[in-house]
Structure 1
Amino acid sequence: MWIKSGLVPLLVSYVIALVLMVMPIPALFEPWRPDWVALVVLYWLIAIPHRVGFGTVLIIGLLTDILMGTTFGIYATALVVMAYPAIRHFQRIRNYSLTQQLLVVGVLILIKRVLVYQLEHLLNDAVFNWPYLYPVLSSAVIWPWVFLILRRYRRRHLIR
């Protein structure tokens, strides 16, 4: 029943995104690691907003907090704030070209990253470094491929 409803493939995509967030990569590329969780969440919010909402985003954010070892609720808060414009304007974003979507996704991830930094600075005295914003660029650049891969995945597993 869960497979026919598309719940299991949806959960698998979230697990893969969480694994990609902590998977070891060479130190040279670490600052450029895309924000996989935000990319996957944004895709599902735009593709099937009737199935993925603020509750799902909050749970994924809390799991990300646990996985990344941050103060509980920071990623969850930032993901929910990032998700609001995506949910509010999903029809408009869905009709944009991939280049336009790339810009929108870049801005949304920038909002998320700045909010995470602000909360970390407020709670833990985090210090700002420019490489902290590199994932905004790398996430925006790979968005077209993430979009196309997840769209094919959604159609293959009949996630509606």
Structure 2
Amino acid sequence: MKLHSIAYVLLALFVAFVLEHFQLPEVIDWFQPAWVMLVVTAAVLAAPSVFGLWLAIPLGLMLDVEKNTLLGLHVILVAMHIYLLQLLYRRMYLFNVLQQSAVLFLMVLAEQIIHYWAMAVMREDMMPVMLLAPALTSAVLWPWMYVLVYRSLQRMESA
């Protein structure tokens, strides 16, 4: 992978962290997509040998600090996400974009459930949250992210 492709992924990750930090209006706050996971998915699918499990530690720690959660929780979630993507890499490559969206929906939903369970164990005052909304929003945004990041990385590599 070329250096400018890696710089493009790092820029996309920076933008994803900024978008993850934006506060939405209270009415649609539960529909905040998993921006970082979308970019990680595109990066791992574009170059699974370059963007591997090593990416989980810095990204997970930054997400833990940004979201004020248990230190290491997002490391485990991002590592699980990358591991599943690398495990399903050949199949995901053959899927069309809608099938990839369905797989991404299930992966983000599993991460949301694990995150909620971990926070419920640590805090007594957990209020119920909408677990399907971020996963659904992420799945709906995947075709756009697929074109923007994944196809751009493929074009950079072929040029």
- TM-score, scaled to structure 1: 0.89
Mapping of 1:53-132 within 5 angstroms? 53-125=52-124, 127=126, 129-132=128-131
1:23 matched to which residue of 2?
A: 22
Unaligned ranges ≥5, structure 2 = none
Is this contact kept in 2: 1:106–1:137, CA < 8 A? yes
Paired residue type of 2:28: F
* Cα 1:130–1:23 shift into 2, 3 Å: closer
1:85-134 C-alpha deviation (Å, 9 max, x unpaired) = 11111111011011110100000101111111111112223635242431
Supply the RMSD in Å over aligned alpha carbons: 2.2
Residues 51-73 of structure 1: per-residue CA shift (max 9 Å, x gap): 10111122111111111111111
1:31 is matched by which residue type in structure 2?
A: W
Q: What aligned pairs does 1:5-20 form with structure 2 within 5 A after superposition?
A: 5-20=4-19
Q: Distance in 1 between matches of 2:142 and 2:127?
A: 25
Structure 2 equivalent of residue 42 of structure 1: 41
How many Å separate the matches in 2 of 1:85 and 1:107?
11
Counterpart CA distance in 1 for 2:115 and 2:74 is 6
Question: Identity of paired residues, percent?
Answer: 23
Q: Matches of 1:4 and 1:79 in 2, distance apart? A: 23
Structure 2 Cα separation of the partners of residues 82 and 31 of structure 1: 21
| Structure 1 partner of 2:134 | 135
Q: Amino acid of the residue matched to residue 7 of structure 1?
A: I
